[in-house]
Copies of this chain bind each other. A is one copy, B any other.
Amino acid sequence: MSDLKSVLDAYRDGSTTYEETVQRISQVENQMAEATTIDHDRHRRTGSAEVIYAEFKTPEQVIKAFKSIQDSGQNVLATRVKQDAFDLLSSEIEGVEFFESARIACWKGGDHQPDTPATSIGIVTAGTSDLPVAEEAAVTAEFYGNKTERIFDVGVAGVHRLLRRVDRIRTCRIVVVVAGMEGALPSVVGGLVDKPVIAVPTSVGYGAAFNGIAALLGMLTSCASGVSVVNIDNGFGAGFLANIINRL
């Protein structure tokens, strides 16, 4: 933090007035504040990586953002990447990985790689239609260095399929539960495990599913304790939060 020091020393040796010094401190403070808060935190918590939300971006905008982060020496994660952006990325960037059903593109050649926590993150889904959101959560968690345990297609209308997997779910430190339609799975899982459950409603369904509202309301009013909820289809958010908790 040599900048602040030079400001102070300029005051000490009389080359700046008090008023000038106050103003210069203010400038330095602002820079420090941002640097400290944003960059430092992000590095610590994410294992050095920036994230690109590609949904509303053109392929050109995606690749520009991608390279910019890459150039700073960090790993890169891009979510909601469409086929045309996939194609452009793969033709221009070496070592980019694709996860089609997760709609994620990433590059892990950064200067610092995240370490791998000892415990796994469970990713549980109700039906096959929930798979893209579940994969977004799983690939995100893995990108940040975590091991994951996928337990798919255990919807509540066939509860014994779930019961058979309870032991595997219990080995995880935190469980992401992805479900559309009535969104009941987190309630059942939450009653079976004593781990934090992150519920992800999906927009799967029709009619009174209202693009995920039925699932969202169902998860928010879950009769099981230990359940919290993220936005509809927000697989990334669940994977990101699971990573934070898994590293506590």
| Interface check A193, CB cutoff 8 A | yes
| Interface check A129, CB cutoff 8 A | yes
13 new A-B contacts, CB < 8 A, other than A41-B192, A203-B207, A207-B233, are: A8-B18, A38-B160, A38-B191, A45-B226, A51-B225, A126-B223, A155-B223, A159-B192, A181-B222, A207-B234, A217-B217, A227-B230, A228-B238
A 157-172 binary contact with B (CB < 8 Å = 1; else 0): 1111101101000000
| Interface check A244, CB cutoff 8 A | yes
Q: How far is the CA of A181 from the CA of B214 in the complex (A)?
A: 12
Work out how many copies of this chain go into the complex: 8
Let me know if B241 and A45 touch, CB within 8 A.
no
A 220-248 binary contact with B (CB < 8 Å = 1; else 0): 11111111111111101110110011001
Q: Which of A188, A196, A198, A217 has the most CB of B within 10 A?
A: A217
Q: Contacts of A201 on B, CB cut-off 8 Å?
A: 207
Identify the closest chain B residue to A4 (Cβ): B22
Q: Contacts of A82 on B, CB cut-off 8 Å?
A: none
User: Nearest-CB distance from A176 to chain B (Å)?
Assistant: 10
Identify the closest chain B residue to A43 (Cβ): B194
Q: Contacts of A195 on B, CB cut-off 8 Å?
A: 244, 248
User: Nearest-CB distance from A211 to chain B (Å)?
Assistant: 8
Identify the closest chain B residue to A229 (Cβ): B229
| Interface check A112, CB cutoff 8 A | no
Which residues of A40-70 have CB atoms within 8 Å of chain B's CB atoms? 41-42, 44-45, 51, 55-56
